[in-house]
Amino acid sequence: MYDSIVCPNNCSVQLSRGLLEEHLEYSCPLRKEKCEFCKLEFSGDTMENHRGACPMEVTWCENKCGARLQRRFLNNHMKSECHKRTAPCHYCHKEFVFETLQDHYYQCPRFLVMCPNRCDPLKIPREELEKHVLNDCPSAHIPCVFKDAGCKYMCPRFHLDKHLEDATKLHLSLLGRLVVDQDSMIKALTQQIRTLSHVTDGTFIWKIPAIKSKLSEAKSKPNVELKSDLFYTSRYGYCLRASVFLNGNGSGEDTHMSLYIRMVSGEYDTLLDWPFRQPISFQLLDQCSDPEKRQTITESFTPNPAWKQFQQPNMDSDSMGFGYPKFINLEMLRAGTYIRDDSLYVKIVVDTGSTKNNNVLKDRHVLADRNILLNSVAEHRNIKLETNKYIIQK
């Protein structure tokens, strides 16, 4: 029983006699074995390869759809029958699980759908439908291209050209009215922008460029008046404008630069207190590079309620100016550093915090203080000054 023998199938294996039966039945590579599925007979070593590959063997679908079928039908099932297989969308060509493909068609952007206006038997990709209806569909009802001008006509797109041809006069009339309305709106908006852009806190600096050529022009042409932009003392305040005669005006003609301020009709005049009573200061800014050597010329006054220049201005007429015919001697202007880079700066300061009604006596003190200051500057520059007058002379 324990003696060694050779396998009778000539597989070249030596083993003890007691193990021979087991060897012939289970492990001998030359044994004969019948497949339980296809009923064919194979040698032992061939059977090892056949097992797990037998086309007649019943197996589970690899997509885990729950189907059991013979292996020979598995490939066809997974490609054509399995509801868990992947399949491409016929429209967008993306891959989906087959059982979800039908739901995808309801959302697929390339799925072909019918135009709601039934303008063409051909179908349109879903993602292009809105663009088609808005821009291309000949049957879509659209408004006239002159709708913003007031035309309320609507028609299918294919009929629009005929409407445009038939309604030319109507459209011209509507456009004419639109132009008038828009022009009025533009003027109103422009005025609002201009008003907002000139709102100050009571301080306005006026830059006068190309001063040398303007001085020459003022000398050759008498009474040439330069006017500043309008400015407001506050958001809802008074509207004013400064003006200057570079070669002088009235008593200052040919010898001095004259500077004035005038009230201008503003947006909020009916809400304001009149006459205008707030102190005003004129400053001719010295542009010396050394701040300590600057000699800015300053003149100030407080309006008298009796002065007509500060009553509520009339929209239809230009109000009279008030200021200084002899604000600065022309020799002093040219000799000093008030002109730099061919520009002159005039600063107007309105004391928006003061509304006192100062009397004439106080104004006379202001005049005296002003003359003392001017004479002090003039003596420093060896220039003789004359007493100024307030009212602008034209």
**Is pLDDT at 288 greater than 90 in this prediction?**
yes
Query: Beta partners for 282?
Result: 299, 348
Q: Are residues 369 and 231 in the same domain?
A: yes
Looking at the domain assignment, is residue 126 inside a domain? Answer: no
Looking at the domain assignment, is residue 230 inside a domain? Answer: yes
Higher confidence at residue 328 or residue 194? 328
Counted domains in the chain: 2
Q: How far is CA 254 from the centre of its chain?
A: 53
From 76, 91, 125, the end of a domain falls on 76
**Is pLDDT at 296 greater than 90 in this prediction?**
yes
Helix (H, G, I), strand (E, B) or coil at 131: helix
CATH number, domain containing residue 72? 3.30.40.10
> How would you class 192 by CB atoms within 10 Å of its CB: exposed for 0-12, middle for 13-18, buried for 19 or more?
exposed
**Confidence at residue 372, expressed as pLDDT on a 0 to 100 scale:** 44
Looking at the domain assignment, is residue 321 inside a domain? Answer: yes
Looking at the domain assignment, is residue 108 inside a domain? Answer: no
Looking at the domain assignment, is residue 323 inside a domain? Answer: yes
**Is pLDDT at 190 greater than 50 in this prediction?**
yes
Q: What are phi and psi of 266, to 5 degrees?
A: -115, 175
- What would the pLDDT profile of 99-135 be if each residue is shown by its tens digit? 999 999 999 999 999 998 888 777 899 999 989 988 8
Helix (H, G, I), strand (E, B) or coil at 184: helix
- What would the pLDDT profile of 21-66 be if each residue is shown by its tens digit? 677 666 777 777 788 788 788 877 778 788 788 888 888 998 889 8
Q: Are 257 and 245 in contact (CB under 8 A)?
A: yes
Q: ω into residue 275 within 30 of 0, thus cis?
A: yes
Of the candidates 268, 266, 261, the one whose C-alpha atom is nearest the C-alpha of residue 348 is 261
Domain limits at 337? 201-381
Q: Are residues 225 and 372 in the same domain?
A: yes
**Confidence at residue 195, expressed as pLDDT on a 0 to 100 scale:** 66
**Is pLDDT at 382 greater than 90 in this prediction?**
no
Looking at the domain assignment, is residue 138 inside a domain? Answer: no
From 43, 76, 109, the end of a domain falls on 76
CATH number, domain containing residue 229? 2.60.210.10
* Percent of the chain topping pLDDT 90: 54
From 37, 58, 76, the end of a domain falls on 76
Of the candidates 376, 374, 263, the one whose C-alpha atom is nearest the C-alpha of residue 320 is 263
Q: Are residues 69 and 215 in the same domain?
A: no
Q: Are residues 60 and 205 in the same domain?
A: no
DSSP H/E element including 142: strand 141-143
**Confidence at residue 207, expressed as pLDDT on a 0 to 100 scale:** 96
Looking at the domain assignment, is residue 24 inside a domain? Answer: yes
What does 243-300 look like in DSSP terms, one character per residue? EEETT--GGGTTTEEEEEEEEE--TTGGGS-SS----EEEEE----SSGGG---EEEE
